[in-house]
Amino acid sequence: MLIHGYFGGAWYFERYQRFLAERGHPTYAVNLRGHHGSRPVPDLGRACARDYVADALEVARWLGRPIVLGHSMGGLFALKLAESDAVCAAVLLCPAPPRGIPIFSFRLAWRQLRYLAPLILSRPLAPRPADLDALMFNRIPAAERPALYPQFVPDSGRVGRELSLLSLPIARHRVRCPMLVVTGTDDRFVVPRIARWIARKYRAAYREYPGHGHFPQYEPGWERPIRDIAEWLHGATA
């Protein structure tokens, strides 16, 4: 089960899904409510993080305790599913942190200033290409970025505010399934020290990839992290 991040959608796991399918692993990529034709939301700006978690939990229960891989915001939700014992293993890819681990970095804070109104007033907000370039696409070749911009959709200002401030509480003692945290040395959105902190707090295995940023699914060399993830899962769930 694959859970996308803020502004994202199931579409950006396509390469991972093909890779895993070729090795006999069926996958299900989720579009959270209000994203890419999923469950409609009357006022997307007021959707909250717990609404998104409810969507993910509904799918996990329907699948029957799957393995979950979540990217960015989806990594936080994957951790929440692990806390609920709704999954048998969890992979957190460049994960947003839970409550108690601040997401702050000067680069991120500077970029967030441009979105203060929708964040504070719980309105939908859409990413600017320049901000995607700075925070998410810094390891994507410039010629490939224009095709990606239109696929990133507006998201909830309330969720953005929640993730930036208090985030979701997740009890360490309730996370019992095998867990792997993966990040890149050049992640500018959720910097590597946050991923390391999450791995330590929740006693997870940890992988950090030189030359990768916040969007390893589309970066050059994308095969290596998912290959290592598949190998780790084979051992963790055997």
Q: What is the pLDDT of residues 149-191, one digit of tens each?
A: 999 999 999 999 999 999 999 999 999 999 999 999 999 999 9
Q: Which domains does the chain have, with CATH numbers?
A: 2-236 (3.40.50.1820)
Task: Name beta bridge partners: 71.
Answer: 93
Task: Name beta bridge partners: 179.
Answer: 90
* pLDDT of res. 206: 98
Inter-residue contact 199 to 172 (CB < 8 Å): no
* pLDDT of res. 238: 77
* pLDDT of res. 39: 94
* pLDDT of res. 160: 97
Task: Name beta bridge partners: 156.
Answer: 124
Burial environment of residue 48 by CB neighbours within 10 A (0 to 12, 13 to 18, 19 or more): middle
pTM assigned to the model: 0.97
Three-state SS at 180: strand
* Nearest C-alpha neighbor of 226 from the set 91, 117, 112: 91
The C-alpha atoms of residue 76 and residue 121 are separated, in whole angstroms, by: 23
Q: Could you tell me the CA-to-CA distances from 234 to 45, 115, 195, 231 in Å, in that order?
A: 39, 41, 22, 5
The C-alpha atoms of residue 125 and residue 222 are separated, in whole angstroms, by: 28
Inter-residue contact 82 to 90 (CB < 8 Å): yes
The token pair at 238 is: 């055997």
Please identify every stretch of the chain with a pLDDT value under 70, giving residue numbers as ranges. Answer: none
* Nearest C-alpha neighbor of 116 from the set 43, 48, 165, 76: 165
